[in-house]
Amino acid sequence: MLAREGAKVVVNDLGGGPAGGGSDVSVAAQVVEEIRARGGEAVANHDNVATMEGGERIIKTALTSFGRLDILVNNAGIVRPRIIYNMSESDWDDVIDVHLKGHFSTVRFAAPIFREQKSGVIVNTASESGLGHLGQSSYSAAKEGIIGFTRTIARDLGRHNVRCNAIRPRAATRLFNEEALAAMQRTRNLLGNAGALGAGSNPLDDKPEQVAPLVVWLCTDAAANVNGRTFVVGGDMIGIYPEPAPERVIVREGGWDLDALDRIAGNQLTNGLCNEFSGAK
């Protein structure tokens, strides 16, 4: 869609599987061919965003191929569903590296270019899994880290006329392998349809093509005043998340001690909060 709207596109994909293994160069090449078949301009890049060298080469590919950089969409990801007591160090590190460090590695080398030209757009890809998702602690941590990263980059670069926003997309992609789908079903079995993915939501019914318009819109001048915000998008729906703020506040002159906290236990501070997380009724 970016190409259809006139962008010259670098398609980066290492070509790994949903869990991160492998390197199939045909994945990026196929998208390049789809763009060219429709009259657009695109080149493939197969670098690994989990490394600083890879992030730098992706940015340089845009400069050497097209002479400039205007838009950066961070979307690379892998998934390794594991309950926390079964999660290995590599399961954790690899997911964090691809998602969270992968966003940093490209933004780090795009930022000086955007700052110098006083223009640029960054769209980061987070997930509703960041709100809590059974068996996805590494994925959740990385995705919610991207939200904080987005808010800060919006402040770092906003003064240079560069904006950075994030999306939480719902779409069936090749990331949804059998293992990931099984983990999602376990979440549904425990939490019902009102789990992290939202009431009545089924990502398998949603298509990436339904996410693309918001991503492209965020890259246009129509969104020039949108910066540091987080959107959810999928199917026929687009939503925007409020900026976080404390839900309830209690102030005690002189501060708090254990006895004071005990005295208010069971009132508005804990009702519906602690019980919700403990599973108590």
Q: Which residues are catalytic?
A: 139
Task: Specify the residue for token string 């940015």.
Answer: 59
Strand segments (E) across 68-203: 71-74, 120-125, 162-170
- CB-CB contact of 265 with 271 (8 Å): no
Determine how many CB atoms are found less than 10 A away from the CB of residue 20: 19
Q: Contact at 8 Å (CB) between 14 and 23? A: yes
Compute how many other C-beta atoms are within 10 angstroms of the C-beta atom of residue 258: 7
Helices 89-96 & 137-158 angle (0-180, nearest 10): 30
136 has which bridge partners? Answer: 82
